[in-house]
Structure 1
Amino acid sequence: MKHARAAYQGVTQRAVEHDGRLLLDDGRLVGEDAVTWLPPLAPTPRPRTILALGLNYADHAKELEFKAPDEPLVFIKGEGTLTGHRQLTRRPADVQFMHYECELTVVIGKTAKKVKRDDAYNFIAGYTIANDYAIRDYLENWYRPNLRVKNRDTCTPLGPWLVDAVDIADPMALALQTTVNGNVTQSGNTRDMIFDVPFLIEYFSSFMTLQPGDLILTGTPDGVVDCQPGDVVVTSIEGLGALINTIE
């Protein structure tokens, strides 16, 4: 099932996809363009922790002229970075290079501590798409991105759907694509991750407790380009839909 969260006539509601429309909690069926889309955190709780991977695709590391990491390169994001499908993300006026990052995002479904790789999928509620924008101008070190690179308000559109884990047969074989103003600028597949989803859940839960609703953003393949105000960026992942965002 595809879950969403949206504001309709001033009221925030959970919703599910129904024949190309949204079936709201109150029973009304509305068009996808009739609502304000919010990050699809329902039916899970809000995230206590948002973990994001850097350089998790070897081709992206090569693109940036970096050696692929020997262990996960991870940073933590705040919930204020999240925004919804069809929303705006601001590009500061003085920056020279701001790029998208199409990322498979794992939503934790139950408390996970010291989880073994073979059991990792049992702790996942579902999957969604993140577009985790980065501003190269603010970057001090790829191995330690500062707050302005990855923790700005609205810098991470999330959605449009939270798709139940049971509906994704193999999250490690999903095609990814990004378009800017209708032109394909990025193509990849989750099978090319350096550290796959089961590894990451085992790795994180070995030293910290993951809680329901926590998010793991798993990194992006190569093909990132600079985005300008007015650009419409669509990040899509097979089985999860297409997340639309506009730069302002």
Structure 2
Amino acid sequence: MKLLRLGALGAEKPALLADDGTLRDLCGIVSDIAGEMLGDEALNRIRSIDPASLPLVSADRVGACVGNVGKFICVGLNYADHAKETGKEPPPEPILFMKATTAVVGPNDDVEIPRTSAKTDWEVELGVVIGKRAKYVSEADALSHVAGYCVVNDVSERAFQSERGGQWTKGKSHDTFGPIGPWLVTRDEVADPQNLSLWLDVDGQRRQTGNTSTMIFGVAHLVSYISQFMTLMPGDVIATGTPPGVGMGIKPTPVFLQTGQVMTLGIEGLGEQRQTTIAARD
């Protein structure tokens, strides 16, 4: 299934993208695509309904495909070729950091360039949405705790991230730095999360091309690994790392985002995003 949330920011309603391309209202079935509604029981309830029996709904705005994200966990340097372009060695264990949930926006919302920013960058990533509580889970059991997958743009301000002291969070958490969606594709429709093509363009120029097969640490390993350090809850989102082609890795001179540019990005089977960069608002 492809689940999404439609409507104004903060007032999104749950919907289903049917196989015939129509959008169907899920308000009478679930309260939101969030929390316990991401568990197998709720998803099976949706799955059992004939989409044609649900009311049609329009899409003036597509919101983040997950509501009320509890934790936004990111994995750094998880593609060996991306680590190389940044001048770093592939890590022996997953590098984890957090992105503020106030960064979450819809897949086509504007992305703000922060005040004083000189190095705002792009990162297409596979997002993993947790559907069942996970604490000390094995790698063999890890994927049963996943509700589904989505596209994430892990927008980053590199100077804030690496030149302003401390850890990476401050460079990852500006408002609008976490577009998620357009859809949550349930795990039963993703045969192999380790064989998905990813891409990102800036102003129509291809910047990133990759495949999740080149991840250093795969999805099952990441879910299991993270669950050793914190309890993962339904609605938590894991951004699993980015392939090469980020702005900071461009040689001989890095390239960063300016206002008025357009990012388009997508993942095989998971949909596409489109964002225009604007100056930060109050």
Structure 1 length-normalised TM: 0.91
Choose the corresponding residue for 2:72, options 32, 37, 50: 50
**TM alignment of 1:184-199, pairs within 5 A:** 184-199=206-221
- Quote the residue 2:273 is aligned against: 243
Q: Is the 8 A contact 2:113 2:120 kept in 1?
A: yes
Alpha-carbon spacing, 1:215–1:142, altered in 2? closer, same or farther (3 Å) = farther
RMSD: 2.1
> Could you tell me the percent identity over the aligned residues?
40
- Following the alignment from structure 2 to structure 1, what is the Cα–Cα distance between the partners of residues 63 and 76? 25
Please list every run of 5 or more consecutive structure 1 residues that lacks an aligned counterpart in the other structure.
Answer: none
Q: Is the 8 A contact 1:73 1:143 kept in 2?
A: no
Shift of 1:236: 0.4
- Following the alignment from structure 1 to structure 2, what is the Cα–Cα distance between the partners of residues 142 and 54? 18
In the alignment, does 2:3 pair up with 1:3? yes
In the alignment, does 2:75 pair up with 1:39? no
Please list every run of 5 or more consecutive structure 2 residues that lacks an aligned counterpart in the other structure.
Answer: 28-53, 248-255
**TM alignment of 1:81-230, pairs within 5 A:** 81-140=103-162, 145-225=167-247, 226-230=256-260
Higher relative strand content: 1
Q: Is the 8 A contact 2:97 2:169 kept in 1?
A: no
Query: Does the residue aligned with 1:90 lie in a helix, a strand or coil?
Result: strand
Give CA-to-partner distance per residue, 1:26-48, whole Å, 9 cap, x none. Answer: 5542444xx22211115xxx332
- Quote the residue 1:29 is aligned against: 56
Q: Which runs of 4+ in 1 moved over 4 A?
A: 141-144
Q: Is the 8 A contact 2:114 2:174 kept in 1?
A: no
Give CA-to-partner distance per residue, 1:209-235, whole Å, 9 cap, x none. Answer: 111111111010110122221111112
- Quote the residue 1:64 is aligned against: 86
Aligned residues: 243
Structure 2 length-normalised TM: 0.80
Alpha-carbon spacing, 1:207–1:94, altered in 2? closer, same or farther (3 Å) = closer
Alpha-carbon spacing, 1:141–1:166, altered in 2? closer, same or farther (3 Å) = farther
Q: Is the 8 A contact 2:265 2:272 kept in 1?
A: yes
Q: Is the 8 A contact 2:72 2:237 kept in 1?
A: yes
Shift of 1:93: 4.8
- Following the alignment from structure 2 to structure 1, what is the Cα–Cα distance between the partners of residues 126 and 12? 25
